[in-house]
Chains A and B, each alone.
Chain A
Amino acid sequence: MKLTDREQRIRGGEAGEPARVAIEQQIAVGDFFGAEAFVPVTNVHMMGDMEVMGDAGFAFIETLVAQGGRFVVPVTTNARCVDFERAASVRQDPALVARERALVAHLRALGALQVDTCINYQTVYQPHFGEHLAWGDTGTVIWANSVTGARTNYEAGPAAVAAGLTGVTPAYGYHLDDQRAGGPRFEVRCALSDYADWGALGGIVGRRTLDYWTVPVLTGMPATPTGDDLKHFGAALASYGSCAMYHMVGVTPEARTDADAFRAREPATSHVVDDAALAAFYRTYPENRPEIDVVVFSGPQLSVLELRRVVELLRGRRAHGNTALIVTTDFANREVARHLGYVKAIEDAGGQVLSGACWYIMEPAKMAAAFGWANVLTNSAKVANIIGGYRLHPILRRTDICIEAAVTGRLPAEGRLA
């Protein structure tokens, strides 16, 4: 890689040992992917929590702090595995909570803004077209690239930390024009009426794409999606397909027309997603039994409008005694939701509104064991995809079905597929 004078000085140790270690790692990654240079970034979003870092990652951060490391661009933190205020009520391991507290103190010492959100693009920082970023959490990356036209690769925790310490990231992948051209075409011919439908669409496209370096193009959108629709779509596409960008013709900024999206090339392949495909996707999440142990709204954290939808569907009813109801959001939205009476409404229903956390990283297998949960009903395709790996039984359904199940303790007839 070609280094500027500033980058060479960082490599020579003039900016301190943490920045030197960081840029060496960035050079190794850049070389691996054929980057020719670095690009400055204006904003970094990092994933760092004990659930995934382990003691070794903790020690790595501890060393950076001891060596006087300090971020040189704004670094925000992703949703983490603990809601410190409500950890006891969801029976999280006190040792994990204590370790998480120590980690947060270290990240703050490095200069991180501890916002603990996976919807930073809705509540913290809105990048503009063409802006170079170093964001982690795949849902944030796919949003930035696709919806705003900003530019970032998946920057995992250590890569985001490195970018925070150096202020630059290797210019490969989605920082470059060529990588952003559309590949396969997906013609959308299905009705999409709920967040879960948008997530399912993301899952369908993701399962067929399964490649970080491929940009699917969606055409024929039946309706104008809301921001939250795109949030569920993108989070699912990233989760099922490892994708970092999509084009939606007539919706996203680099796809005003088909020619725009494909950069005047032919689509690599063409697919149709119809109502039958959508129904088939839901059938990959059959119920194991009608009784539902826990209903989860999470992954990504909920917006204020999604919280309102939950409250409206509850209509003042209480959740069934055998069915837990868990909602996660970020600090900002929880405060707005408290102001609007939504938090009280969900708590009065017997539910919990967790903040700063996202359910699927809160050691769900341990939580399920503690409460005796075996199945999980959710409107998040991303959550459904992930928790299969934790040997819980995921059931994906539309939001209204999830709420009815929470209230009655059982899947309503229209939600039964098996």
Chain B
Amino acid sequence: MTPDAVITAPPGFGADVEAEIVLSRDSFSIRYDMDRETGVISRKGHALEGRSLAGKIVYFPAVQGGVAAGWAFLALVGRGVAPAGVLFGRTNPVMIQGLVLAGIPVMHRVRPDPFSVLQTGDRVRMSPARGIVERLAPR
């Protein structure tokens, strides 16, 4: 099966990782939106409400909120409920500081809009050093 590079981005942080992708139309704040004990999106009305991000590569178009993200990703890793990788449209420093501390791969300014080329549940490989995301299996 020839992998299929569907998303590009500037070089990001972290090692290559393969997982299922979860796409969100809503922005992300780890304090406001997530139950940090379980890694489940808990905010009422969030596009991913009730969904666990554990072990997934997750895409958010934007981020919200404050410095809690700095520690919170490491805490998710400690509890075994962290995402495997994160893709952002626009992000902010605290997300990146927190993901670097936790060792979770991350890229931002992804193109094109992941909704136009992927569906939640697709298996993908993200390669931050090369700035690409590949789809691993046909739909």
Binding partners A and B: yes
Chain A residues in contact with chain B, CB under 8 A? 25, 28-29, 31-33, 47-48, 52-57, 59-60, 136-138, 153-160, 173, 210-213, 238-242, 244, 385-386, 388-389, 391
Q: Chain B: residues with CB nearer than 8 A to chain A? A: 11-13, 27, 29, 31-33, 36, 42-44, 62-72, 74-75, 77-79, 90-94, 96-98, 100-101, 106, 108
Interface centre among B68, B98, B108 (most CB of A within 10 A): B68
Q: Least Cβ distance of B19 to chain A in Å?
A: 21
Q: Are A156 and B98 in contact (CB under 8 A)?
A: yes
A153 to B94, CA, bound (A): 9
Asked whether, in the complex, the Cβ of A52 is within 8 Å of the Cβ of B94, the reply is: no
Asked whether B74 lies within 8 Å of A60 as measured between CB atoms, the reply is yes
Which chain B residue lies CB-closest to A158?
Answer: B101
The reply to whether B94 and A156 contact each other, CB–CB distance below 8 Å, is: yes
What number of residue pairs across chains A and B have CB atoms under 8 A from each other? 134
Per the bound structure, the CA–CA distance linking A50 and B44 in Å amounts to: 25
**Interface contact B96-A54, CB-CB below 8 Å:** no
Are B33 and A389 touching (Cβ within 8 A)?
yes
23 A-B pairs, CB-CB below 8 angstroms? A33-B93, A54-B74, A55-B75, A57-B71, A137-B67, A138-B65, A153-B93, A154-B67, A154-B93, A155-B67, A155-B93, A156-B68, A157-B67, A160-B70, A212-B63, A213-B90, A238-B66, A239-B65, A242-B63, A242-B65, A386-B32, A389-B42, A391-B42
A391, B71: Cα distance in complex, Å: 22
Residues of chain B within 8 A (CB-CB) of A25 are 97, 100-101
Interface contact A60-B101, CB-CB below 8 Å: yes
Which residues of chain A are within 8 angstroms of B91 by Cβ–Cβ distance? 212
Q: In whole Å, how far is B95's beta carbon from the nearest beta carbon of chain A? A: 9
| Cβ-closest chain A residue relative to B30 | A52
Q: In the complex, what's the smallest C-beta–C-beta distance from A359 to chain B, in angstroms?
A: 14
A158 to B72, CA, bound (A): 10
Q: For the complex formed, measure the closest distance between the CB of A285 and the CB atoms of chain B, giving whole angstroms.
A: 14
Contact A388 B43 (CB under 8 A): yes
Known: A60-B101, A210-B27, A210-B62. A389 touches B78 (CB 8 A): no
Bound Cα distance from A32 to B17, whole angstroms = 18
Nearest Cβ distance between residue A207 and chain B, in whole angstroms? 10
Contacts A57-B75, A212-B93, A213-B90 given; does A388 touch B32 at CB 8 Å: yes
State how many angstroms separate the Cβ of B53 from the closest Cβ of chain A: 15
Distance from A331 Cβ to chain B, minimum over Cβ atoms (Å): 21
Q: Which residues of B contact A48 (CB under 8 A)?
A: 71
Picked from A56, A211, A244, the residue with its CB within 8 Å of the CB of B77 is: A56
